[in-house]
């Protein structure tokens, strides 16, 4: 990892699923652990090379959307240099956008200060909806430094990349199933459909492990959450 990137998240080994879905996880992370980038990336350095600026919000661009918090909470911290010239009005517009796109996520504004050149929001990824919701926060502030820091003990994170560089061709969704709930999980997409569970779930007598990617090949499966915790399901398909 270059000097422009640092992390204290404890990732496991990466998995290449079908040569299409590259996956990693950082389970049970402590408060204060983080991932940070300290310079803007050139287009060819980004996770995907076709990320676009927001059509009308200045200093805002598409995020790679390659992380999901399966359990717990984080602060997302942006800082920038004086010559990036971001105004308070632009920060206010970005926060209004964040609130409108925080599907299945509880967000709170911690700090928004154009003079101090700092913007911090907190995001808790617990969700009581068993309806599929779109991926939250598809756009991010396009600034020099971006940091995601764990604020709840035992936070679980996943990281994934679509190796075909076609992030817009994939649909990413999430939902939650309550303790004791049985759920009909449908396969979507024409080519690939992957699911990841935040807790162990049961498919009949089979246990599907938490934080492990599964490719759905049948039209649907019926799963039950037998744990005492709400279980987030992440689904990506094309």
Whether 84 is covered by a domain: the verdict is: yes
pLDDT average, residue stretch 64-90: 94
Q: Which of 157, 191, 209 is the last residue of a domain?
A: 157
Whether 91 is covered by a domain: the verdict is: yes
Per-residue tokens: 128 = 């009581």
Contact 126/175 with Cβ under 8 angstroms? no
Checking if the pLDDT of 222 tops 80, the result is yes
According to the model, what pLDDT value does residue 129 have? 74
Q: Which of 110, 130, 157 is the last residue of a domain?
A: 157
Residue 127 pLDDT grade (very low, low, confident, very high; cuts 50, 70, 90): low
Around Cβ 2, how many Cβ atoms within 10 Å?
9
Checking if the pLDDT of 46 tops 70, the result is no
Contact 66/47 with Cβ under 8 angstroms? yes
Whether 162 is covered by a domain: the verdict is: no
Whether 163 is covered by a domain: the verdict is: no
Q: Which of 75-89, 159-173, 221-235 has the lowest mean pLDDT?
A: 159-173
What are the two backbone dihedrals, phi and then psi, of residue 190, each rounded to the nearest 5 degrees? -100, -15
Checking if the pLDDT of 69 tops 60, the result is yes
CB-based contacts of 131, cutoff 8 Å, min separation 6:
175
Contact 108/66 with Cβ under 8 angstroms? no
- The Cα 177–Cα 61 span in angstroms is 32
Q: Which residue has the higher pLDDT, 198 or 42?
A: 198
Residues 33 and 100 in one domain: yes
Whether 115 is covered by a domain: the verdict is: yes
Whether 131 is covered by a domain: the verdict is: yes
According to the model, what pLDDT value does residue 47 have? 65
Residue 200 pLDDT grade (very low, low, confident, very high; cuts 50, 70, 90): very high
pLDDT average, residue stretch 37-58: 77
Helix (H) or strand (E) holding 190: none
Q: Which residue has the higher pLDDT, 80 or 137?
A: 80
Residues 93 and 43 in one domain: yes
According to the model, what pLDDT value does residue 43 have? 58
Residues 116 and 212 in one domain: no
Q: Which of 157, 191, 207 is the last residue of a domain?
A: 157
Kindly report the pTM of this predicted structure: 0.91
| Domain with 186 in it | 169-237
Per-residue tokens: 145 = 């430094």
| Collapsed DSSP state (helix, strand, coil) of residue 100 | helix
Residues 133 and 57 in one domain: yes
User: Among 196, 201, 134, 202, which Cα is nearest to 171's?
Assistant: 134
- The Cα 102–Cα 97 span in angstroms is 9
Whether 187 is covered by a domain: the verdict is: yes
- Number of domains, the chain: 2
């Amino acid at each position: 990892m270059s000097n422009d990137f640092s992390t204290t998240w404890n990732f496991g080994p990466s998995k290449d699923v079908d040569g299409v879905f590259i996956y990693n996880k950082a389970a049970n992370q402590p408060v204060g652990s983080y991932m940070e980038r300290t310079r803007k990336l050139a287009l060819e350095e980004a996770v995907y090379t076709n990320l676009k600026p927001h059509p009308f919000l200045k200093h805002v661009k598409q995020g790679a959307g390659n992380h999901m918090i399966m359990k717990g909470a984080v602060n997302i911290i942006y800082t920038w240099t004086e010559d990036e010239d971001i105004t308070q009005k632009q920060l206010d517009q970005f926060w209004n956008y964040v609130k409108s796109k925080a599907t299945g996520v509880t967000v709170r504004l911690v700090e928004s200060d154009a003079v101090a050149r700092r913007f911090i929001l907190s995001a808790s990824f617990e969700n009581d909806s068993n309806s599929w919701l779109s991926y939250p926060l598809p756009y991010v502030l396009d600034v020099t430094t971006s940091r995601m820091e764990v604020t709840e003990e035992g936070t679980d994170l996943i990281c994934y990349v679509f190796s075909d560089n076609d992030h817009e061709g994939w649909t990413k969704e999430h939902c939650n199933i309550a303790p004791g709930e049985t759920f009909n999980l449908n396969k979507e997409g024409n080519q690939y459909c992957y699911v990841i569970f935040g807790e162990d779930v049961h498919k009949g007598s089979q246990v599907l492990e938490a934080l492990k990617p599964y490719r759905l090949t049948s039209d649907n499966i019926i799963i039950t959450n037998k744990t005492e915790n709400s279980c987030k399901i992440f689904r990506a398909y094309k």
